[in-house]
Amino acid sequence: MELIQLLSFHEIVKTESFSKASRNVFRSQSALSHQIKNLEKELGVKLFDRIGKTIKVKEEGRILFDIIDKFVYDLEDLRKILIDVKKSKVGNLTIASSSAIMTYVLPDIVRRFINQFPGVNLKLIACSFFSEIQSLVLEGKIDFGIGIGWDQMLPRRINYVSWKLFDTILIAPKGHSLSYRKAVRLGDIAPYPHIIYRKGSRLSSMIEEVYARNKIDYKIIMEVDVAENIKSYVEMGFGVGILSSVTLTTKDKNRFAILNVSNLFGKVEIGIYYRNGQYISTTMKQFMKLFAPELLNRIISPT
């Protein structure tokens, strides 16, 4: 049994394609097929069902994949460890983040990080949904993700550490009838057209769940991906917007009537996602010291 056979098998399962895997491991498709046949012969089991041009992983193949999956990621971690041993300020760091964090939290942190570590190749990926960050973590394409926490079971390969809770706020044009209220009820908000994040986002799900639980009808007039679009259309008088306070700027406090509606919809939690058992490189630690130093020990030594 050779290492290249196991790496090739892992890539085939991950990509669900012999042709894609052959490109990723820099082998011809025929060579890849030959490797898998030899691996199956040595193990005495069939790893795939081949139906025309499609493949399906058999139970024996899934068991083998689970066994070598962590090993493959450990090989990548070994490369990072050896770079760290050199104690140099070079390397790569890839972070995925929700668009809100990317826009309102990270700019100053990224600026300071680049100034301190100019040799690090920093890559940022903006994601609209939690599921995108989760997939990138599972695939090993990012070092960690920063995004909204969700009260659902995470895959066993992913760890999550909570960072902060942010209020849910309602914004309306200056002088809007809601702006004169010190507090609002769900029934006070429902009649006004809502401008919110598109369906599938955590906040839109929270809003939907609350209205459904209280059996109150409401109207969504617009669904968008980024907070600034919500703000623009609220300012034009199209409706009221519901956002997380992480998106609130000093300028916004003069642009809009702002009401805290956390008592109605709850608060939005932001945290860090990373792969279970992942090696935390020096570069990752340096970024965390700038972003959330209070979380560093919890990430290095999770309980």
What pTM does this model have?
A: 0.69
pLDDT tens per residue across span 158-209: 889 999 999 999 999 999 999 888 789 999 999 999 999 988 888 999 999 9
Does the structure show a pLDDT above 80 at 54? Answer: no
pLDDT tens per residue across span 70-126: 777 666 666 666 666 555 556 789 999 988 999 999 999 999 999 988 888 999 999
Note whether 106 and 136 are same-domain residues. Answer: yes
Helices (H), the chain: 3-15, 18-24, 29-43, 59-85, 99-104, 106-116, 130-138, 186-189, 202-213, 227-235, 250-255, 262-265, 282-291, 296-300
Note whether 76 and 197 are same-domain residues. Answer: no
CATH number for the domain harbouring residue 131 = 3.40.190.10
What is the domain count for the chain? 3
Q: Which domain holds residue 78?
A: 3-82
The residue out of 82, 108, 124 marking a domain boundary is: 82
